[in-house]
Each structure stands twice: as C-alpha cells, then as structure tokens.
Amino acid sequence: MRFPKSCDTFVVLPPVTKNGRVIFGKNSDRPQNEVQEVILVKGEERNPKLKCTYITIEESPDPVNTVILSKPAWMWGAEMGANDKNVVIGNEAVWTNNNEGDGDARQRRLLGMDLVRLGLERGHTAEHALNVITMLLEKYGQGGPCSELDDSHFYHNSFLIADPKEAWVLETSGKLWAAEKLTAGYRNISNGLTITTKIDKHSENLQAKAKGMGLWDGQSEFNFTKCFSSGGDEVRQREGERLLKEESAGACFDVKNMFKVLRHKESRICRGCDDTFPTQGSQVSSLTSQGLNVHWFTATPDPSVSYFKPFVFTPKPQISSYTESSNEAKREHHLYKLHAEHVLKSSNEKISTLLHEIENGCLIELEEFIQNYESGQGSLDELNDLMKDCVETEVKLYG
C-alpha cells in the first residue's frame, strides 16, 4: 500500500484567536490533474435511498442541511465543506494495522469523503456531525478506491470537525474509532493517527477489541495511536503544529494567519501542481456564535497563487457556475481552465499578486460589513451573491 504524503487540516480556537472566533483551514492534496469543484447543495427532503460514491444507503428521514462543498468532481463525497448550521469538516487519509474484514479499505463501502458530506448534510453541531459519521461508519464501513484512475489508492480516515464552540478530532481504523474534544488552543492533523490517551468518545468495546486483535496488552494505559497506527507523515504533522504555534503566539489568530499557513511551501503543506499530490483546493472558515460565519474557498489549485473567495450562508445564497465541473472528460470547470492557463502554466507573478490584492480588499470590505451588521446595520441579502461576484471578478481578470 502506498503512503502518499498529502493533506493537512487545522483548527485554532480561543483564547488565541481574534475576537473569540474559531478558525478552520484545510488544504486538499489530491492526484495530479484531478479537478476539485466547489458546489452549493440546497437543503431539502430526499428520496429514502441515497447513492453515494460506491454504495447506496438509507437517507436521513429529516430534511438535510444546505452545504457548500469542495470536492473531487468525479465522486459524490467532499474533501471539505461547511453547512448552514455553522459546522465545518475536513478529512485526512490515515493508514492502520487493521486491514482485514471490516478494516479492509480495498472494499467499496463509504469513502471518507462521503462521510464528510454526510456529516455536513445531517449534522447540526460539531458533536452531532461526529455522531452522524460514527453511526454511518459502524453501519456501512469505509473503503474503496479514493482515486478515479488508481485502484491502489485507498485508506482509512481521520476527521477534524468544528463549530463556533468547539472542535473534535475523529480517527478511525476500519469500523473502530476514537474522538478527542478540543475547546481551546490549536490542533492539526495530517496523514497519521494522533489521538493517544485522551479519548473523549470511542466505539463500543474499543479496548476489548484492540486486546482481542493482539494490539493492546490490557494492562498498560490504552493509547489509540500506539495500538492502531501503521505509520504517517510525522514531519509534516510537526511542521503544521509549529506554524500554528508561531502564528497564534500573539493570541490574535485570524483568517489571514490561516491563509499564510495553507500557503507555506517550505513545510510541504502547500504543494504546487508539479508535485505528485498537489494542493487541488483549499478552505478557510471563520466561525462565531455571535455574528457572521464566513467560508473562503480557492476553487483552484495551489493556494500560494490562488485567491480565497468568501461565501456566507444568507437567505438566498448563490455561487457561480464557473466553479462547477463540466461533463467533459477532464471535468474542468471554467475557473479551473482559466487559472491553469493564466496563472499556473505561465507562472504569471503579476496576476498572482493582483489576486492577493483583490483578496485583501475582500477581507477589508467584509470586515467592515460584519462590524456594521453586528451593530444592527445592513442586511444579509447584500451578501447573497458574494462568492458569485468574486468568482466572476476573477474570471474577468483573466480576460
């Protein structure tokens, strides 16, 4: 089994954030030339059966949430996203020593990305989304090729789930799982198990099953990673933690700090398109219980040369069709094509600089709007087309 070194997810919580917000960020590193689209799916009641990437499952009896997703265009599931209940989720590939039966990730079951989308569509808080994911994991299992063109690319999953009050790290091995609750500070996950002895929730009879598998002696302190891990990218895990520590040292971490972390090339957290597993899409979310929650998506590869575009769940939110993939063989959406032609292939530093200037202008204008809105001025309807307008501004820039 190959261990591609890819993907990082981060969360920073009070008291080290600005204005008491929770800041979430994720880079989605995927196979070369795999297009990642950003789509908006309106909440509604659905048919009793739901076709996910590989299998059909029972749909929720309740109307699902409205969600915005950054997802590989070929699959049903998503690498990351947010819902209109202020929950955000990202997942990571992990490899464990539990690879037979329920732990055989080669079998086509629910992908980790399917579980991300299901958690967002059905979860009303971070913990509720955690419960949704673990219930489905135990019922249907996880597995199946995670690349459209490479059947050998399969794995188990970890998840970082956050809302305005807390975050959860959920790590899995087949149908077994452990979760750690976070209420302060910062946390990151890469491509290895990280939960050790602080376990706040877990699958039923986890310790007994680990003992029965010969992974725990039944006497020493139970350590989830020590029992189940078969390796991971410890270097990038440490680099991500170092960056969060540095950026949050002033106890004023905000969206711009997370942009900086996701754009960090030397640590390999940001990967260019010439990499084996380039960063195909990125998300940053700013969450609060007392005001507007804003979600930023690149919808294009390599955040160091991309523009984070803001989205807000308003009464009638819209996004541009330019970030939705086509039915063509390569599944390239319009923004992806233009960005590849004008930024990636030509290495046009002038355009990249201009994109970052536009992004900074969006940050300033949106912060002013939020301040006015929270003081009783302005209407959310003014932001219905926020992301749509930003995407179309970028498209016009490319001419």
Which residues are CB-contacts of 195 (< 8 A; sequence separation ≥ 6)? 169, 171, 178, 179, 180, 224, 225
Q: Which of 138, 185, 180 is nearest to 159 (CA)?
A: 180
186 touches 16 (CB < 8 A): yes
72 beta partners: 36
184 touches 43 (CB < 8 A): no
Residue found under tokens 């048919």: 47
283 touches 304 (CB < 8 A): no
Other C-beta atoms within 10 Å of 9: how many?
Answer: 28
Concatenated DSSP letters of 110-132: B-HHHHHHHHHHH-SSHHHHHHH
Helix (H, G, I), strand (E, B) or coil at 302: coil
Which one of 7, 146, 227, 270 is the catalytic residue?
A: 7
**174 vs 157: CA distance, rounded Å:** 9
Helix (H, G, I), strand (E, B) or coil at 247: helix
Is 273 an active-site residue? no
H/E stretch holding 395 reads helix 386-397
| Eight-class DSSP state of 85 | T
Helix (H, G, I), strand (E, B) or coil at 52: coil
> Known catalytic residues?
7
